[in-house]
Structure 1
Amino acid sequence: MKERHLGRSGLLVSRLGLGTMTWGQDTDAEEAAEQLTTFVDAGGTLVDTADVYNGGESERILGRLLRERVDRDRLVVATKAAIRPNGRYDGSRRHLLRALDASLDRMDLDHVDLWQLHVYDPATPLEETLSALDEAVASGRTRYVGVSNYAGWQISKAAAWQRAWPGRSPVVSAQLEYSLLRRDIEREVVPATVDAGAGLLAWSPLGRGVLTGKYRTGIPAGSRAAAAHYSEFVQPYLDEECARIVESVVTAAEGLGRSPVAVALAWVRDRPGVAAPVVGARTAAQLGVILESEDLTLPNEIRAALDDVSDTSTGSP
């Protein structure tokens, strides 16, 4: 698998990241182990988790696998903080540094490679939140820092603050939802990310699973849309407009002799500013289909057709 620099930093990451949001809930430890070894064997390096994923179980499973199955030095380990277990946003220095210590304990690591602010906390001064990033880097608990789910102005403000004084840790990544079904971030957020020198990590690049084509004729049993804890997450992408885009992806896939998954991932992977899509799979078999996107570069005419059918450029940012 090819690698890319994460933004304007020196950190190289695989151009496909493995998300672990399902680990510890829909994906058990043995299935997670198979996923991780499959991913690493394919040349993948970037593995993304968060302190709140399934009560910390995702981090615990990843930590065990780093001890027992995969050489930790082969991976770029990324995690996040800023959400309390009760769902409250908390960007305070106190919470963030305690959350990072707890993440390191769960994974049995002395540092992570990328530590990200999971959300923007409007109740905490941004300079206080960012000071936690500087402390985390200075203390050796993380090598790089980034943000997640920030608006364009929030990314710009954070990046400018970090550049304003020597010794502060630059924001090297911004993790955002981005797919053929979610292109509104191209109006403001993507330009802000690129201007800040951060690499875009695209979460849910398969449109919350809808771009696989599995929902074309209904909601399959066992799918996320059929699960009580995920149905509201998927529902916004089951409308007629999204269905039209899915049909275009399926048509393109049939013409190329590839899967809709490969087409949708290749599209977002090669968008300006993107360092890597971060894809979560429930099973190793699903991950195998995802990895088939690595050798696909979309022909210009197909890319243009998908750009056109999914365009959301009208209107102001």
Structure 2
Amino acid sequence: MRIFGVGTADQRSRPHEALDEHPSAPIPVVGPGVGESIRVPLGETGFSIFPLMLGAAEFGWNVDLPTSHALLNRYVEFGGNAIHTADGFSGGRSEHIIGRWMRSRADRDGLVLSVRIGAHADNPGLGSVNLVRAVEGSLTRLGVERIDVLYLDASLDETTNLEDTLATTEWLRDAGKIASVGAFHFAPERLVEARILASAGYPRLDVLDEPYNLVRRTEFEGDLRLVAAAQGLAVTPSHALEHGFLSGQHRSKSAMSGVRGQQLRSQLNRRGIRVLRALDVIAAELSVPVAAVSIAWLLAQRTVVAPIVNAFATTHVDELMQGAGITLSRAQIAELTRAGA
């Protein structure tokens, strides 16, 4: 919605001065985004977020700085408030880009910032020394004093003593450098060990990130989901669209090239085509984009609070945000689940 004005009296009295914009130009109404009132608790972290986290994996890699800032602005305009990055994304450039964007704004307290650490080449793993260095490095690149949710990335380090890691996160939390702790790529057994240590006074894990979507289900569905539900973990699955495949925009192998093309081509099999057909039917029934239906299916899954999604253009953000407003019927959920089985 826009309103139209004729400018201030002071502007009208100086008709020959150069103005950035004609005083009768349309002025956008400033107000909350449509999703401003949509918030869900992020487990027991104490934070409430929009049920879709904007991922920054592409920032500084396939998405340049101006486009990255445009994506962030569009997400926040809609009412989104949860941003996810990692110290290893683009060698830290993703954090630099987000930091520059945040310094241009005055609403830091209204944003929930999550960072995954443990995969940066300079500070790999979850050992105490590297953990502290990684957090300090992320804080510096982001230009903030606190990380709201620190995800511990165990994908490259499954041997470090978990008690030492949690003791270090306790020090980081007490020092005000982090607010809460999450896990990435944790086996069910390690989650159980972490809960036992939490009962002894160490910081508890409140959030879990495990890659999960309609065509990638084996790793999460099973013991991991059972443990997550039993512990009340808020699940924020990454790779929600499987590198863009579940957006429905990539269906020809001949048009796919590079690393991402290989990832996409691997999904163009009988099951992948079956999933896309099911998505097409439901998207047509609801008059929404295919990507939004993929997000809606995830949000309908037990324990899932907010998928982490990456985008390349503001139009992608527009499509993805619709997923939080869709309620799929039981029949539609069952059809998609069968298609991806």
TM above 0.5, one fold?
yes
Q: Structure 1 residue 241: deviation in Å?
A: 1.5
For 1:33 and 1:205, locate their aligned partners in 2 and report how far apart those are by CA, in whole Å: 21
Structure 2 contact 250–264 (Cα < 8 Å) conserved: no
- Bigger relative contact order (CA 8 A; separation at least 6): 1
Q: Which residue of 1 aligns with 2:101?
A: 65
Q: Which runs of 5+ in 2 are unaligned?
A: 1-34
Give the equivalent residue in structure 2 for 1:273: 303
Question: Structure 2: which amino acid aligns with 1:108?
Answer: G
Which one of the candidate residues 269, 279, 284 is aligned to 1:254?
284
- The equivalent position to 2:193 in structure 1, one of 122, 142, 157, is 157
Give the drift of 1:171: 0.5
Return the match for 2:58 from 11, 18, 22. Answer: 22
Please name the residue that 2:206 is paired with.
Answer: 172
- Greater Cα shift, 203-212 or 40-49: 203-212
**Segment drifting more, 205-214 vs 260-269:** 205-214
Q: Compute the displacement of 1:52 (Å).
A: 0.7
Unpaired stretches in structure 1, ≥5 consecutive residues: 312-317
**1:247-281 deviation line (CA, Å, top 9, x unaligned):** 11112112222211111110101211011011000
> Residue 28 of structure 1: CA displacement?
1.0
Are 1:294 and 2:328 counterparts?
no
The number of residues matched between the two structures is: 303
Q: CA deviation at 1:111?
A: 0.6
Letter in 1 for 2:47: L
Aligned-CA RMSD value:
1.7
Distance in 2 (alpha carbons) for counterparts of 1:230 and 1:85: 22
Match of 1:297, SS state, is: coil
Distance 2:235 2:320 in 1: 19
Q: Which residue of 1 aligns with 2:79?
A: 43
1:40 Cα deviation after fit: 0.9
Larger mean Cα displacement after TM superposition, 35-44 or 240-249: 240-249
Conserved 8 A contact 1:7-1:199: yes
Displacement of 1:160 in angstroms is 2.5
CA distance in 2 between counterparts of 1:219 and 1:176 reads 30
2:131 counterpart (96, 105, 108): 96
For 2:267, the equivalent position in structure 1 comes to: 237
1:79 — aligned with what? Answer: 115
Partner of 1:112: 147
**Secondary structure of the structure 1 residue equivalent to 2:306:** strand
Deviation for aligned residue 1:7: 1.8
| Rg larger for | 2
Superposed displacement of residue 235, structure 1: 4.2
Return the alpha-carbon distance in structure 2 between the equivalents of residues 268 and 122 of structure 1.
27
Q: Which amino acid aligns with 1:178?
A: Y
Partner of 1:32: 68
1:75-132 C-alpha deviation (Å, 9 max, x unpaired): 100001112317x951100001100000000011111111111225223111112222
Q: Distance in 1 between matches of 2:182 and 2:196?
A: 13
The 1:253–1:219 alpha-carbon spacing in structure 2 relative to 1, beyond 3 Å, is: farther
Distance 1:149 1:70, change over 3 A: farther
For 1:165-244, list aligned pairs within 5 A. 165-166=200-201, 168-184=202-218, 185-220=220-255, 225-226=256-257, 228-244=258-274
Matched residue SS, 1:116: strand
2:267 counterpart letter in structure 1: Y
Over 3 Å counting, the alpha-carbon distance change for 1:152 and 1:255 in structure 2 is same
Give, in angstroms, the shift of residue 29 of structure 1.
1.0
